[in-house]
Copies of this chain bind each other. A is one copy, B any other.
């Protein structure tokens, strides 16, 4: 029953609003004796942090994470490690300007959760969006940092592959480019073009959507489970839980519908590393809900930020028609900062799948190729 909690064996829950004193997170089920320091998490948080270029909100949030429980220094090695206890993570809020939100107190911004929260709860914390604030995703990134330590052989990387209507040229894909532009874009040419495009969007007080691709390499065959614990079902749930996400794809995704059976199914040949060699990866590394050993490839689409400067038609909480125009400091393309969030959610899903696989099957299962 996971209103504010995600995961099964490796799981985390979050609390806190952007205007409150702090946001917090509790990571449960982490294996013991895993080296873990605040510095391990801070790098991922810095990547998500706003205010780093003119293309993200100008709020200044240092997002300094504190680990308040669940670790201790192993006296034999001098290394700080997890103890197996629940790990408390806390980030103080330092730049909340609650007055910015005063005038939308009783008005419902189109495309936001304002109306639906009020409809559900009969009350709405309008200050900074309350629990619907993207600020909550900082805690996901921190928890994702812990998850990465649980699956050290796995590399999880994300990239922006579409901004507004503009897709990258996949032939240009270069992971090294991702850190060279403010968009986490793997195509240097596209990044160049996006800069002008997003400047236009920003100056117009408008916003645009984006598509993020997350790739996990090093996942061995066998993680996930059939039916309702499918690895792809959990990735879909994880990505769709991120603010503003409207679609999730695994491997070829929507495009798979247009393929023929011949083109879609990934053929195999014997390899030389104890795993079959797949001739393609339309499946995105998952078959029947279980990892194949190929890279796990998933994408999600983020809708354009609903906070825009154009006046829009709406209603207020008392039943009157209103015209509304969202001020405040917002991201013209929230998809950019969603990249580290997507990576974190993928890492969390994989850590949880790993532990559950280890639970059911143990470490000693027979492996392909099998003896006759």
Contacts and interface: CB of A to CB of B under 8 A. Distances in A.
A1 B356 contact: yes
A32 B306 contact: no
A335 interface: yes
A314 B74 CA distance: 23
B246 A249 contact: yes
A116 B222 contact: yes
Contact of A132 (B240, B288, B364): B288
Contact of A257 (B238, B335, B357): B335
Interface residues of A, number: 172
Given A9-B9, A84-B361, 16 more contacts: A4-B227, A5-B28, A15-B70, A15-B86, A23-B69, A24-B68, A24-B69, A29-B360, A81-B123, A120-B222, A120-B357, A121-B365, A132-B226, A211-B257, A232-B245, A233-B241
Given A257-B302, A258-B164, A1 B8 contact: yes
Contact of A119 (B254, B335, B367): B367
A121 B32 contact: yes
B359 A69 contact: no
Interface stretch (A38-46, A107-115, A172-180): A107-115
Contact of A301 (B9, B24, B69, B256): B256
**Those 7 A-B pairs whose CB atoms lie nearest each other, nearest first:** A113-B288, A319-B369, A111-B265, A359-B359, A207-B261, A119-B221, A209-B257
Contacts of A105: 75
Given A116-B222, A369-B317, A85 B125 contact: yes
Contacts of A259: 208-209, 303-304
A372 interface: yes
Contacts of A16: 68-69, 88
Q: Taking each of A29, A86, A113, which has the highest tally of chain B beta carbons within 10 Å of its own beta carbon? A: A86
A72 to B, nearest CB: 5
A104 interface: no
B247 A250 contact: yes
Nearest to A67: B20
B247 A237 contact: no
Interface stretch (A47-55, A56-64, A185-193, A276-284): A276-284
Contacts of A183: none
Contact of A246 (B86, B284, B313, B358): B284
A291 to B, nearest CB: 7
A165 interface: yes
B162 A257 contact: yes
A337 interface: no
A115 B307 CA distance: 47
Given A5-B28, A85-B125, A209-B259, A368 B232 contact: no
Contacts of A247: 247-250, 253-254, 256-257
Q: Taking each of A116, A233, A307, which has the highest tally of chain B beta carbons within 10 Å of its own beta carbon? A: A116
A74 B123 contact: yes
Contact of A355 (B108, B258, B359): B359
A152 interface: no
Given A3-B226, A21-B68, A209 B292 contact: no
Interface string A1-42: 111111011010111110011111010111111000000000
13 contacts: A3-B29, A16-B69, A108-B276, A112-B265, A118-B370, A122-B365, A122-B370, A131-B227, A206-B260, A246-B252, A247-B247, A355-B359, A356-B359
